[in-house]
């Protein structure tokens, strides 16, 4: 049914190989973007989101519909060039290509050109995503690091850390705050180009 699935090898701490399935844009019937802007890799940040609406999806058919719904919202309602996220991750355990690894997103102002934005499809305010969905987020980030799209010393942030929002939901934010590369707020700095004003983030020290 889904003839456009890409399977990438990902790594697990156990040494066992596990497949990371990334559904490319053709696989969820994405409309072409109205414009694109290249992004330099590797990027220093990964920013986690939840969709809130659409709700969680648990089958490829439902997750394809969710990606289409988000693209409709972002292009037709918001007037953006494309779906805002670099990738979506569904409850079916698949990752879905949005803008991809090397195009500037529209998911976190002031960070769009220096981050990969991952939307964990669903509302994660009061409950956690299922384990397979979280595992796919881990695998996707690991793949990005291994292929040179994401810096090895990247900082993982929740959307709420860079904008006044409840995203990615309380429960998901609590979860990612336990992950190894989670970043906590540091000082504010002015970018050399005088345009971007980004916060610095540092690794959270474990007790």
Give the pLDDT of residue 7.
42
Q: How confident is the model at residue 184 (pLDDT cuts 50, 70, 90)?
A: confident
pTM listed for this prediction: 0.83
Domain spanning 40-189+196-203: which superfamily? Peptidoglycan recognition protein-like (3.40.80.10)
CA atoms of 12 and 171, how far apart (whole Å): 24
Percent of the chain with pLDDT over 90: 79
The ranges assigned to domains in the chain are 40-189+196-203
Give the pLDDT of residue 3.
40
Comparing CA positions, the residue from 59, 43, 80 lying closest to residue 133 is 59
CA atoms of 152 and 60, how far apart (whole Å): 31
Give CA torsion, residues 105, 108, 113, 119, to 10 deg: -50
Comparing CA positions, the residue from 92, 97, 91, 93 lying closest to residue 33 is 97
Over the stretch 111-167, which tens digit does the pLDDT of each residue have?
Answer: 999 999 999 999 999 999 999 999 999 999 999 999 999 999 999 999 999 999 999
Residue 169 has pLDDT above 70, yes or no: yes
Give the pLDDT of residue 107.
96
């Amino acid at each position: 049914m889904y003839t456009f699935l890409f399977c990438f090898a990902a790594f697990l701490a156990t040494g066992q190989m596990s497949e990371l399935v990334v559904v490319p844009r053709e696989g969820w019937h994405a409309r072409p973007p109205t414009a694109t802007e290249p992004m330099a890799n590797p990027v220093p940040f990964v920013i986690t989101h939840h969709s809130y609406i659409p709700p969680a999806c648990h089958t490829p058919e439902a997750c394809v519909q969710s990606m289409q719904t988000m693209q409709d919202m972002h292009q037709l309602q918001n007037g953006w060039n494309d779906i805002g996220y670099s990738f979506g991750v569904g409850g079916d355990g698949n990752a879905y290509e949005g803008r991809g690894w090397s195009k500037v997103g529209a998911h976190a102002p002031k960070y769009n050109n220096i981050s990969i934005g991952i939307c964990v499809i669903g509302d994660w305010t009061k409950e956690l995503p299922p384990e397979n969905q979280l595992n796919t987020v881990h695998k996707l980030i690991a793949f990005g690091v291994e292929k040179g799209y994401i810096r090895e010393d990247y900082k993982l942030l929740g959307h709420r850390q860079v904008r006044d929002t409840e995203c990615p939901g309380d429960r998901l934010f609590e979860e990612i705050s336990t992950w190894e590369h989670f970043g906590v707020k540091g000082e504010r700095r002015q970018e050399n180009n005088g345009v971007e004003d980004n916060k610095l983030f540092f690794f959270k020290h474990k007790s």
